[in-house]
């Protein structure tokens, strides 16, 4: 059942994948969490080694895909390139017409493995650099940072990127997961379902919020400006990006972990600037909206993840694509669940009034 993929208690701030708390899962490799989501249980050492070997062996993309990436405009958001390329690579998958569980698993592994390579290749080309081949000996997070930078990240940066992917991997029936499930419910192929998820994630009210957080932090520029900026937003009744959630009525557990990680990065780099801006923003929002007005407006998954990207020199244009790198395992888990049901999702129009 889909409810077993993810459990959320919005009042207590609890998030679990397959009945395992997120605070435990962030201590694992992304590959293990991906395995858990897709196959339903944590792998033993040998299973994880085999799964990771298959993932790492499918990271490369062929020359034809590189040519299409070069044809994309280089000043667009990376999500626009990513959705095009994921659709394009489906024709090279030898299992594209194999809808058996085994065929779908092989497609899943290729998607999870290749999406980081696509994002990194587009980013490098957009910045006038040649793409780098993936390093199959690096972890999911370390390899991605290597491919965009051209140098291996520090151990802390690699661990933070790995945790970022884990924290982004799954979150029940959010908008992009629901759109992926709708596509899968028609028994369309896995690539089509993932493209549906990508198109939905791109919106600024969903995955696009992360880049908006980064832009907001840059606009504020220093901690002393944060209070006035937020007070003006509140006075105008404008949305403060990175705050509030439809499900959580307390602190988003992912947001709490991201806050801890952003502080670790700030301290390791000897630069508290971005963290202090974010903390000043949070303190003002909590004081004005939570304490004074009783509204459950706390930092969500996007807020401190934006701070992390600032410290790792990841530009806003990549933020949503990085979210997709992590989330694809969750989309696939839901698609597999939907394929088993063999029943089309067909809501009634009157249900829109509740949205």
Please work out, in degrees rounded to the nearest 5, the angle formed at the alpha carbon of residue 236 by the alpha carbons of 235 and 239.
Answer: 105
Name the phi and psi angles at 238, rounded to 5.
-95, 150
How far is the C-alpha of 63 from the C-alpha of 48, rounded, in Å?
A: 30
Residue 53 structure tokens? 């070997």
Find, among 86, 316, 110, the residue nearest to 218 by Cα.
316
For the sheet containing 6-9, what is the strand order?
6-9, 14-17, 20-21
Find, among 25, 349, 313, the residue nearest to 168 by Cα.
25
How far is the C-alpha of 209 from the C-alpha of 229, rounded, in Å?
A: 18
H helix and E strand count, the chain: 16, 3
Q: Is the dihedral of CA 240, 241, 244, 247 positive or negative?
A: positive
Residue 215 structure tokens? 């832009």
Exposure string over 153-169, b if 16+ CB within 10 A, otherwise e: beeebbbbbbbbbbbbb
Please work out, in degrees rounded to the nearest 5, the angle formed at the alpha carbon of residue 126 by the alpha carbons of 122 and 132.
Answer: 50
Find, among 131, 172, 138, the residue nearest to 158 by Cα.
138
Secondary structure letter of residue 299 according to DSSP = B
- Pairing mode of beta strands 6-9, 14-17: antiparallel
How far is the C-alpha of 241 from the C-alpha of 222, rounded, in Å?
A: 17
Query: Which residues are within 8 A (CB) of 70 and not within 5 positions of it... i.e. 6 or more apart?
Result: 125
Name the phi and psi angles at 27, rounded to 5.
-90, 0
So which residues are the catalytic ones?
245, 302
């Amino acid at each position: 059942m889909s409810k077993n993929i993810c459990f959320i208690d919005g009042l207590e701030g609890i998030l679990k994948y397959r009945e395992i708390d997120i605070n435990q899962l962030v201590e694992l490799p992304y590959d293990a969490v991906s395995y858990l989501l897709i196959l339903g249980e944590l792998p033993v050492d040998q299973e994880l080694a085999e799964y990771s070997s298959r993932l790492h062996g499918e990271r490369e993309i062929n020359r034809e895909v590189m040519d299409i990436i070069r044809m994309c405009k280089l000043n667009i958001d990376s999500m626009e390139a990513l959705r095009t390329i994921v659709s394009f690579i489906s024709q090279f998958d030898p299992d594209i017409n194999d809808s058996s569980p085994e065929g779908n698993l092989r497609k899943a592994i290729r998607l999870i493995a290749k999406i980081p390579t696509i994002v990194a290749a587009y980013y490098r080309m957009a910045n006038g650099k040649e793409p780098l081949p993936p390093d199959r000996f690096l972890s999911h997070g370390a390899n991605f940072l290597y491919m965009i930078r051209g140098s291996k990240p520090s151990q802390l940066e690699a661990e933070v990127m790995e945790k970022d992917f884990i924290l982004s991997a799954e979150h029940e029936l959010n908008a992009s997961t629901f759109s992926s499930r709708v596509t899968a419910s028609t028994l369309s192929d896995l690539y089509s379902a993932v493209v549906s998820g990508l198109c939905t994630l791109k919106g600024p009210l969903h995955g696009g919020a992360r880049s908006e957080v980064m832009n907001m932090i840059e606009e504020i520029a220093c901690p002393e400006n944060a209070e006035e900026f937020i007070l003006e937003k509140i006075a105008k009744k404008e949305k403060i990006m990175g705050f509030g959630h439809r499900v959580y009525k307390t602190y988003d557990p992912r947001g709490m972990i991201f806050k801890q990680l952003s502080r670790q990065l700030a301290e390791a780099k000897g630069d508290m600037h971005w963290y202090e801006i974010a903390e000043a923003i949070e303190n003002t929002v909590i004081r004005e909206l939570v304490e004074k007005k009783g509204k459950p407006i706390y930092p969500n998954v996007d807020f401190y993840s934006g701070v992390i990207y600032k410290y790792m020199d990841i530009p806003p244009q990549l933020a949503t694509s990085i979210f997709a790198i992590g989330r694809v395992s969750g989309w696939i888990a839901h698609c597999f669940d939907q394929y088993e049901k063999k029943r089309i999702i067909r809501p009634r129009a009157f249900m829109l009034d509740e949205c």
